[in-house]
Amino acid sequence: MAQINEHTESIGDQLVFWRSAPADGAPTLYLHGVPTSSDDWVAFLSRTGGLAPDLPGFGRSGKRGDGDFTMEGYAAFVESFLGHLGVDRVKLVVHDWGAVGLLWAMRFPERVERLVALNCVTFLPGSRWHRVARAWRTRGLGELVMGATTRFGLRRSIPRAIADGAWAHFDVGTQRAILRLYRSSDETKMEAAGRGLGQIAAPGLVLWGDRDPYLPARFGDGLAAALGDAQVEHLPAAGHWPWHEHPEVVERVVAFLNE
């Protein structure tokens, strides 16, 4: 198992926390979603090495009030982060809103060696936000929902271990980042952003927990079809964090990245 190191440095105008572990060849870049952090990737990092940042607004990274918490802003952060570390090519693993990595990959497809997508935002036609996201996108209501969120409320909607980890960093800064991200991401804009998915020609694996209450299983098939060279595997008994219910998912991802 690789030793995992922790770092905190200023990148541009933002304080960024990330984890790293030694890797052979191109490092794997792990990008988490809402409302979590690089905590999601510890089991993966110890097996593959690589890099796992807390995205701005989440976890232990900075949460500036004037931060660019939009999908374009996060895609730009990916480029700034890799530039700061002097990394040119990566293997890319994304979950949930970590799919901003796909936006980056559409700009720089030659820099992606392999791609794994786990129950992520897909930028496909026909997307419609789930009920909680629609509440977040509504001004006033979103603030009320955020303010009323408790640790026990999180536990009712996401696995307990993940909820407890997320709750430790679920402060006003993270709540603000979530609201801005969702409010800047309407379905039409996201569909337009995804029109270049086919340019990502790296071998891809789409792993989808079919019991996901937020992202229906059909989007796993749609994403695999939209990408240039990807296969899809469904996990009928898994939910939004498929590796949480099925630890063997970690081994499947590791095997694919090492092929």
pLDDT for res 123: 95
Mean pLDDT of 141-167: 93
pLDDT for res 1: 80
Contacts of 107 by beta carbon, 8 Å cutoff, 6+ apart: 75, 79
3-state class (DSSP) for residue 63: coil
Mean pLDDT of 118-129: 92
- Model confidence at 245: pLDDT above 90: no
Q: Which position has the higher pLDDT, 153 or 44?
A: 44
pLDDT for res 213: 93
Q: Count of H helices and E strands in the chain?
A: 12, 8
Q: pLDDT band at 127, cuts 50/70/90?
A: confident
- Kindly report the pTM of this predicted structure: 0.97
Angle at 24 between CA 18 and CA 28, to 5 degrees: 40
**CB of 30 within 8 A of CB of 51?**
yes
pLDDT for res 138: 97
3-state class (DSSP) for residue 72: helix
Dump pLDDT digits (tens) for 108-120. 999 999 999 999 9
Q: Report d(CA 77, CA 72) in Å as an integer.
A: 9
pLDDT for res 126: 86
Dump pLDDT digits (tens) for 168-210. 999 999 999 999 999 999 999 999 999 999 999 999 999 999 9
pLDDT for res 13: 87
Mean pLDDT of 19-36: 97
The lowest-confidence range among 52-61, 101-110, 112-121, 150-159 is 150-159
Mean pLDDT of 139-143: 97
Q: pLDDT band at 133, cuts 50/70/90?
A: very high
Q: Report d(CA 178, CA 48) in Å as an integer.
A: 29
Mean pLDDT of 118-139: 94
Q: pLDDT band at 157, cuts 50/70/90?
A: confident
Q: Which CATH superfamily is domain 5-128+187-258 in?
A: Alpha/Beta hydrolase fold, catalytic domain (3.40.50.1820)
Q: pLDDT band at 69, cuts 50/70/90?
A: very high
- Model confidence at 230: pLDDT above 90: yes
pLDDT for res 109: 98
Mean pLDDT of 59-75: 97
pLDDT for res 212: 95
